[in-house]
Structure 1
Amino acid sequence: MDYCLIIHWLLNAAGLFCGKYRLHSKEDEDQKNLVTKGEVIRGVLSQQVVQAVVAIILFKVTGGNKTHEDTSNHNILVHVGLSAIKLVIAMIVMDTWQYWMHRVMHQKKFLYKHIHSQHHRLTVPYSFGALYNNPIEGFLLDTIGGALSFLASGITPRASIFFFSFATIKTVDDHCGFWLPRINPFHRFFYNNAAYPDVHHQFYGANYNFSQPFFSTWDRLLGTFMPYSVLQRDEGGFEARPSQD
């Protein structure tokens, strides 16, 4: 949460420099969102408490099996290679779980109305609203998704700290509401950046761009991918719109 607030403050405090890179105006952020920033902060903090408890339990249960891998004398290149493979597996597992859970949340009216619609109260996303969800959704998508990624990949607790920190940073960046391709390293390696979930949060894109947090693979494979163009507005800032690419 501290990281989210710092990024939000830095982007907004930058004023004239970053203001021209907004995907929505500050007025849109204040007027179109249906939840206060105080409610968002409280919701995210409560979710993080649950995630911390689950992480501690997982580390306690599996930690004994991971210590040997951390302290063994394997060849460093083999060790690094295996660790990289495990991290990729963790990314694939998380993407797969979150894609399907996210898609189901939209396509089942009861789940959308009573659970997922809370996240879409943020029509204009911002950084610390990235993980603002109904507690049930937070547990199903993020907490269970993280646990499955950890268990299926076999990454160590130490590596998992890096992995989950990276996933959180990526998610926060995706929802920051600023289009910064030239100075943002995520734009060099990932397609589903700030404009990708922004399209999903608009009415015309609600049934598209479900993939999160790393790749757009499942959307592309299963016909729920909505390509976009990011256009510069005459009055300043940018706007993400569907394209025919």
Structure 2
Amino acid sequence: MVFWEGYVSDELMGTFAPIVIYWLYAGMYQLLPPLDRFRLHTRKEEKLKNLVPLSSVVKGVLLQQLVQATIAQLLFLATSDANSSGIQVQPPVLVQLMQIIVAMIVMDTWQYFVHRYMHQNKFLYRHIHSQHHRLVVPYAIGALYNHPLEGLLLDTFGGAISFLLAGMTARTAVYFFSFAVIKTVDDHCGLWLPGNIFHIIFQNNTAYHDIHHQLQGAKFNYSQPFFSIWDKLLGTYMPYNLVIRQEGGFEARPLKH
């Protein structure tokens, strides 16, 4: 029994919960005080280095989410095994956890290779992936700021493949995609906050992804959003030190590769 049962379907929840959570979680970061002593880049750097205004970022994210919502509804419609009463049989919790772990691995694998290829192919980088790197200094709301084609290939298709290969129900998908969205937003938040559970559990975190957005790290740390397995296996992992800047805040400083 879940709180939305009887109000909206699992399919509808799986489609729109990640979108609502994205704006709530990213909005929370946007509304926080400056917190300069926890920032990976100064606010001055954010204003000087980023090549796209916030209004364009918001429009780009909304466009990607519109496409995601449309495909999610089609995917749930095509895979629904609900009985005549409209109620899906849910697997045991342990099975759902295993499905989520499988989906995490599948999503990481898909995104690593597509993401890496978009950097290695000069045409794709120049015309597609470079849009995301207009945010040289990432921030939370820009986590899903991509070229529409990249959003479709990297995130939407990646999510669909993860869902299908893991064999999860729409209800399990609510949990998985909501978690994936929170993790992705956190990876782009630009803040190294004490006690952040994602920084404690995952090596692939805010600082890890910040390295990738830096010039010297653009061909490294492709893995997202969960693990760093593929970077380490295929030689694209760039280690770093997290140092305290004299003017306040932190800096993820790449080590020699």
TM more than 0.5 = yes
Deviation (angstroms), 1:93: 0.6
Gapped runs of 5+ residues in structure 1?
none
Amino acid aligned to 1:100: F
Q: Which residue of 2 aligns with 1:210?
A: 222
Given the superposition, is the C-alpha separation of residues 120 and 157 from structure 1 closer, same or farther in structure 2, using an over 3 Å criterion?
same
Give distance in 2, aligned partners of 1:226 and 1:186. Answer: 19
- Find out whether 1:40 has 2:57 as its counterpart: yes
Asked if the contact 2:27–2:141 (Cα under 8 Å) also holds between the matched residues in 1, the reply is: no
The one of 127, 133, 136 aligned to 1:120: 133
Q: Which residue of 1 aligns with 2:7?
A: none
Asked if the contact 2:26–2:185 (Cα under 8 Å) also holds between the matched residues in 1, the reply is: no
Asked if the contact 1:232–1:238 (Cα under 8 Å) also holds between the matched residues in 2, the reply is: yes
- Deviations 1:65-105, CA, capped at 9 Å, x for gaps: 69999436x7xxxx122111111111111000000000000
Query: SS of 1:94's equivalent?
Result: helix
The one of 85, 101, 108 aligned to 2:114: 101
Q: Which residue of 1 aligns with 2:4?
A: none
- Deviations 1:183-236, CA, capped at 9 Å, x for gaps: 211122111111111100010000000000100000011000001111001110
Give distance in 1, aligned partners of 2:31 and 2:69. Answer: 30
- Find out whether 1:243 has 2:255 as its counterpart: yes
Given the superposition, is the C-alpha separation of residues 189 and 25 from structure 1 closer, same or farther in structure 2, using an over 3 Å criterion?
same
Query: SS of 2:220's equivalent?
Result: coil
Amino acid aligned to 1:131: L
Report matched runs for 1:1-245 at 5 Å: 3-11=21-29, 13-15=31-33, 18-64=35-81, 70-71=88-89, 79-180=92-193, 182-243=194-255
- How well do the aligned residues superpose, as a CA RMSD in angstroms? 2.1
Asked if the contact 2:29–2:140 (Cα under 8 Å) also holds between the matched residues in 1, the reply is: no
Asked if the contact 1:4–1:127 (Cα under 8 Å) also holds between the matched residues in 2, the reply is: no
Deviation (angstroms), 1:242: 1.1
Amino acid aligned to 1:242: P
Please give the TM-score of this superposition, normalised by the length of structure 2: 0.87
Gapped runs of 5+ residues in structure 2?
1-18
Amino acid aligned to 1:71: V
Asked if the contact 1:5–1:127 (Cα under 8 Å) also holds between the matched residues in 2, the reply is: no
Amino acid aligned to 1:184: N
Amino acid aligned to 1:200: H
Asked if the contact 1:93–1:149 (Cα under 8 Å) also holds between the matched residues in 2, the reply is: yes
Give distance in 2, aligned partners of 1:154 and 1:86. Answer: 7
Amino acid aligned to 2:123: F
Q: How many residues are aligned here?
A: 238
Asked if the contact 1:12–1:19 (Cα under 8 Å) also holds between the matched residues in 2, the reply is: no
Deviation (angstroms), 1:64: 1.7
Query: SS of 1:20's equivalent?
Result: helix
Asked if the contact 2:40–2:252 (Cα under 8 Å) also holds between the matched residues in 1, the reply is: yes
- Deviations 1:118-173, CA, capped at 9 Å, x for gaps: 00000000001011000000000001000000100000001101101110100000
Amino acid aligned to 2:80: G
Given the superposition, is the C-alpha separation of residues 9 and 47 from structure 1 closer, same or farther in structure 2, using an over 3 Å criterion?
closer
Give distance in 1, aligned partners of 2:75 and 2:57. Answer: 27
Deviation (angstroms), 1:14: 4.0
Deviation (angstroms), 1:10: 3.9
Given the superposition, is the C-alpha separation of residues 5 and 88 from structure 1 closer, same or farther in structure 2, using an over 3 Å criterion?
closer
Deviation (angstroms), 1:5: 4.8
Please give the TM-score of this superposition, normalised by the length of structure 1: 0.91
